[in-house]
């Protein structure tokens, strides 16, 4: 026990130094012995005479205490974003306070986050993410990095050659979809040396997480195997035009695979009793018989507990919503009832929008986590109905399933957006939900910018009423990025016309307050986001004007509106280019770094380009699923693709021409495939001054919000 405490203390001290730099010289860290800590995790902080003392039951609790101290004593907001932490020259005095975990489990990440955000993170980037996890109280992060090493070893033991294994694993960007049984062999091959390098990285990740007191959630076995190892008894599953094979529960080799996977996993990554396993994440199960579903649940549990009888199966309830026509109450109950309550943890994955706990008979009284998805594919835009979010969480706390509620989860498909929403959710595990969400948001922003200026309060009052207001719990596709079509209907909901006037008011104030906070990187990012929201909304108006003119046969009017549309999008690219995190070239460069040869680097780049645009093959419904407002992507892909559409209109394309759809689709597909193969990295460093450019765009476009009002 003494060795364990020393190890965790050293890890917590190292984390504090990474976060605070030289200011850590005046910080004392203590890990509290478990036998004196009580049942709940807690962290404590106090400061006097320039010394800050942090104590906690583990490194995560210490980090939470640090974040709360920075907020309360220093007026500093520490978000999920990779932003500098504003620190005082001397630690302000603060009487001892305690932050106690309200729930034992705080989950983080989604399988597909490892594609849409973390596909090419190196250790330095993962280290920053783990520190942010700790600061926000996460103690159960999903950990799938390096899982391909496990399967390589298992399949070698099955007699498959390395060439055939590589064909099964496919490409690096799409591995998370393989682990969920959605596809296999897509976008192959992996770079030479990838598997060994990712295994080492995965080991670093779980080691650091454990040092800080987290329990990494490792992937389990759900029956998915390569087609060549599946006999006639295996089921064929279909997902978005892809096909995979799954062994049924009664297959004689099911447990052999489960045991082999766990043995190889244990040797490389250990285990902490939590295993994420999803047999039918978005697929229709091969049998609708309740007993067949129960048999599959029991067999998956057998695989999870094969070397740990106390292990817990972590299951995403997403299929119950996504395939609700299949998952009748009888089938849900049969599936969940097959697993003892103490062996199952259900993730109510989209609870901020469509909670399932109340429509599934309380998940058959199984333990569960209240989770948010919020972001699909790391799409861009300011959004999140914070009032509905808190209301639905309160409903869960007060509802019939409250006695089995074990915590919260952040299961976003993409990271790096809307930090206020994610700070709010993680606070729910440590503090009572706030009653006044407008006041919560304005106080959050004032800490974020380091000022109590009334203009900041007014800016965020507007944002609280618009982009974070009622009905904003689902992000609709941006009008900027949607693939053109014959009947090109784009929603106005991404930046509603009735909100644009208010957003222009906030935009003006955001520029006015630059004299106070322009040095704050967080302010500059938020200014860019707000600028994009307004200019993108105007672009949506112009695009709808193109469509309306085409429908009326007014080709000249359509092309006039199209010219305005492209002008707006070029301005969007310019403002986005001021931020490193919004550069397509940076993500491409990160991907290329994992290649050892020019051929590998080009393949990795093309994988990124494909994922962000057409996603997969032409038979999927995933075109533009992972759309981003990114510099480079805007100028190199979205603008030229819209130009293809406008050229088609200029050439005489019309909605009443029966061959028009085929012609337009052919032109668009040709451009898309040429762009994916292009091979140009683009800028990797930001350019331009965000404040100056935003001011110029305000002068250019703000007046059009009222002038162009439909």
Statement: residue 708 has pLDDT above 80:
no
Q: Does residue 503 come out as left (phi exceeding 0), alpha (psi in the -120 to 50 range) or beta?
A: alpha
Instruction: Enumerate long-range contacts of 195-201, CB under 8 Å, 24 or more apart.
Output: 195/146, 195/148, 195/149, 195/152, 196/149, 197/594, 198/145, 198/146, 198/148, 198/149, 199/146, 199/149, 199/268, 200/146, 201/122, 201/123, 201/126, 201/145, 201/146
- Which residue has tokens 């075109």? 623
Q: Where are the domains of the chain?
A: 2-100, 105-148+204-432, 455-707
Phi and psi angles of residue 395, each rounded to the nearest 5 degrees, phi first:
-60, -40
- Which residue has tokens 């280019």? 577
CB count, 10 Å around CB of 652? Answer: 10
d(CA 34, CA 139): 16
Mean pLDDT, rounded, of the chain: 95
Over residues 265-269, mean pLDDT:
98
Model pLDDT, residue 565: 97
CB 460 within 8 A of CB 445: yes
CB 382 within 8 A of CB 529: yes
Give DSSP secondary structure letters for 504-515. HHHHHHHHHTHH
Statement: residue 618 has pLDDT above 90:
no
- Tens digits of residue pLDDT in 348-405: 999 999 999 999 999 999 999 999 999 999 999 999 999 999 999 999 999 999 999 9
Of 400, 335, 389, the C-alpha closest to 362 is: 400
pTM here?
A: 0.97
Statement: residue 695 has pLDDT above 70:
yes
Name the CA dihedral angle for 130, 135, 136, 140, rounded to a multiple of 10 degrees.
Answer: 40
Contacts of 405 (CB under 8 A, 6+ apart): 103, 367, 368, 369, 370, 396, 397
Of 195, 62, 85, the C-alpha closest to 137 is: 62
Query: Using 50, 70 and 90 to split pLDDT, how confident is the model at 262?
Result: very high
* Environment class of 637 (CB within 10 Å of its CB; exposed 0-12, middle 13-18, buried 19+): buried
Model pLDDT, residue 656: 67
Question: Kind of pairing, strands 94-100 and 42-48?
Answer: antiparallel
Output the six-digit token pair for 286: 């091969």
Query: Using 50, 70 and 90 to split pLDDT, how confident is the model at 659?
Result: confident
Output the six-digit token pair for 707: 């002038």
Domain 2-100, CATH homologous superfamily name and number: Chitobiase/beta-hexosaminidase domain 2-like (3.30.379.10)
Model pLDDT, residue 77: 97
CB 176 within 8 A of CB 187: no
Query: Using 50, 70 and 90 to split pLDDT, how confident is the model at 613?
Result: very high
- CA 64 and chain centroid, separation: 22
Cross-strand pairs, 225? 245
Give DSSP secondary structure letters for 561-623. HHHHHHHHHHHHHHHHTT-GGGBHHHHHHHHHTT-SSHHHHHHHHHHHHHHHTT-S-TT-S-T
**Measured CA distances, 188 to 166, 168, 537, 606, 615 (Å):** 7, 8, 39, 11, 14
d(CA 126, CA 120): 10
Over residues 262-285, mean pLDDT:
98
Return the H-helix or E-strand segment holding 97.
strand 94-100
Residue 47 three-state SS? strand
Domain 455-707, CATH homologous superfamily name and number: N-acetyl-b-d-glucoasminidase (1.20.120.670)
- Tens digits of residue pLDDT in 210-261: 999 999 999 999 999 999 999 989 999 999 999 999 999 999 999 999 999 9
Output the six-digit token pair for 67: 């974040």
Model pLDDT, residue 634: 97
Cross-strand pairs, 344? 313
Question: Kind of pairing, strands 344-348 and 312-316?
Answer: parallel
HSE-CB for 590 with a 13 A CA cutoff:
20
Statement: residue 339 has pLDDT above 70:
yes
Model pLDDT, residue 671: 96
- Which residue has tokens 């992060």? 141
Radius of gyration for the chain, computed over Cα atoms and rounded to the nearest angstrom: 26
> What does DSSP assign to residue 685?
S
Statement: residue 22 has pLDDT above 80:
yes
Residue 94 three-state SS? strand
Of 6, 96, 11, the C-alpha closest to 48 is: 96
CB 467 within 8 A of CB 367: no
d(CA 339, CA 313): 9
Of 35, 18, 16, the C-alpha closest to 26 is: 16
Q: Output the furthest CA–CA distance in the chain (Å, rounded).
A: 80
Statement: residue 655 has pLDDT above 70:
no
- Which residue has tokens 């948001």? 441
Of 521, 582, 579, the C-alpha closest to 380 is: 582
CB 44 within 8 A of CB 54: yes
Statement: residue 668 has pLDDT above 80:
yes
Interior CA angle at 677 toward 674 and 679, to 5°?
125
Query: Using 50, 70 and 90 to split pLDDT, how confident is the model at 61?
Result: very high
Q: Percent of the chain, pLDDT > 90?
A: 90
CATH of domain 105-148+204-432: 3.20.20.80
Phi and psi angles of residue 285, each rounded to the nearest 5 degrees, phi first:
-60, 150
d(CA 497, CA 482): 18
Higher-pLDDT residue of 186 and 618 is: 186
Return the H-helix or E-strand segment holding 319.
helix 318-322
Of 224, 280, 285, 287, the C-alpha closest to 253 is: 224
- Tens digits of residue pLDDT in 23-41: 999 999 999 976 554 568 9
Higher-pLDDT residue of 5 and 259 is: 259
- Tens digits of residue pLDDT in 122-147: 999 999 999 999 999 999 999 999 99
Model pLDDT, residue 468: 96
CB 441 within 8 A of CB 77: no
Statement: residue 464 has pLDDT above 60:
yes
Model pLDDT, residue 342: 97
Q: What does the chain come to in residues?
A: 710
């Amino acid at each position: 026990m003494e060795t364990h405490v020393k190890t965790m203390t050293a890890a917590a001290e190292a984390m504090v130094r990474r976060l605070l730099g030289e200011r850590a010289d005046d910080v004392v860290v203590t890990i509290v012995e478990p036998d004196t800590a009580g049942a709940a995790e807690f962290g404590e902080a106090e400061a006097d005479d320039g010394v800050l003392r942090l104590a906690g039951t583990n490194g995560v609790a210490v980090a939470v205490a640090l974040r709360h101290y920075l907020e309360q004593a220093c007026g500093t907001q520490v978000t999920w974003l990779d932003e500098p932490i504003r620190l005082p020259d001397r630690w302000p005095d603060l009487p001892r306070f305690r932050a106690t975990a309200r729930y034992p489990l705080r989950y983080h990440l989604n399988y597909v986050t490892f594609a849409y955000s973390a596909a090419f993170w190196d250790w330095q980037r993962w280290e920053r993410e783990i520190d942010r996890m700790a600061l926000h109280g996460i103690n159960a992060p999903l950990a799938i990095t390096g899982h391909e090493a496990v399967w390589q070893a298992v399949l070698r033991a099955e007699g498959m050659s390395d060439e055939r294994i590589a064909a099964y694993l496919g490409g690096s960007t799409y591995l998370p979809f393989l682990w969920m049984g959605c596809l296999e062999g897509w976008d192959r091959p992996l770079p030479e040396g990838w598997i060994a390098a990712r295994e080492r990285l995965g080991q670093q990740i779980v080691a650091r997480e454990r040092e800080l007191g987290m329990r990494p959630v490792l992937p389990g076995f759900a029956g998915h195997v390569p087609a060549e190892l599946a006999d006639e008894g295996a089921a064929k599953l279909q997902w978005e035009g892809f096909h995979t094979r799954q062994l049924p529960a009664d297959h004689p080799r099911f447990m052999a695979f489960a045991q082999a996977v766990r043995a190889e996993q244990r040797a490389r990554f250990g285990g902490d009793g939590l295993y994420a396993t999803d047999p039918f994440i978005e697929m229709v199960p091969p049998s609708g018989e309740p007993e067949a579903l129960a048999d599959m649940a029991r067999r998956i549990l057998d695989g999870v507990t094969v070397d740990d009888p106390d292990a817990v199966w972590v299951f995403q309830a997403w299929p119950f919503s996504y395939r609700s026509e299949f998952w009748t109450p009888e089938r849900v109950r049969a599936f969940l009832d097959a697993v003892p309550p103490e062996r199952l943890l259900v993730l109510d994955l989209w609870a901020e929008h469509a909670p399932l706990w109340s429509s599934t008979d309380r998940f058959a009284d199984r333990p569960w986590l209240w989770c948010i998805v919020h972001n699909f594919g790391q799409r861009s835009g300011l959004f999140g109905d914070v009032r509905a979010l808190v209301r639905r969480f309160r409903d869960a706390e007060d509802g019939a399933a409250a006695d089995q509620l074990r915590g919260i989860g952040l299961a976003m498909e993409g990271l790096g957006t809307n930090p206020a929403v994610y700070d709010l959710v993680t606070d729910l595990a440590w503090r009572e939900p706030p009653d006044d969400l407008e006041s919560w948001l304005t106080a959050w922003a004032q800490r974020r910018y380091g000022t109590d200026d009334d203009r900041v309060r007014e800016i965020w009052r507007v944002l609280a009423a618009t982009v974070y207001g009622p009905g904003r719990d689902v992000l609709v596709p941006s009008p900027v990025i949607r693939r053109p079509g014959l009947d090109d209907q784009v929603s106005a909901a991404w930046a509603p016309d009735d909100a644009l006037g208010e957003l222009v008011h906030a935009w003006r104030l955001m520029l006015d307050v630059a004299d106070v906070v322009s040095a704050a990187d967080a302010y500059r990012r938020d200014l860019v986001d707000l600028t994009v929201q307004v200019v993108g909304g105007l672009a949506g108006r112009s695009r709808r004007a193109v469509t309306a003119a085409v429908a009326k046969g007014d080709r000249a009017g359509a092309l006039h509106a199209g010219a305005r549309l492209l002008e707006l999008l070029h301005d969007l690219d310019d403002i986005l280019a001021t931020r490193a995190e919004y550069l397509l070239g940076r993500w491409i460069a990160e991907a290329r770094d994992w290649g050892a040869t020019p051929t590998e680097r080009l393949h990795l780049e093309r994988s990124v380009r494909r994922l962000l645009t057409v996603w997969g093959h032409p038979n999927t419904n995933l075109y533009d699923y992972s759309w981003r407002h990114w510099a480079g992507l805007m100028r190199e892909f979205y603008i030229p693709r819209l130009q293809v559409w406008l050229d088609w209109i200029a050439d005489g394309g019309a909605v009443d021409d029966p061959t028009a759809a085929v012609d337009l689709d052919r032109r668009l597909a040709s451009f898309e495939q040429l762009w994916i193969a292009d091979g140009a990295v683009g800028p990797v460093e930001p350019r331009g001054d965000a404040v100056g450019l935003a001011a110029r765009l305000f002068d250019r476009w703000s007046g059009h919000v009222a002038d162009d009002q439909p």
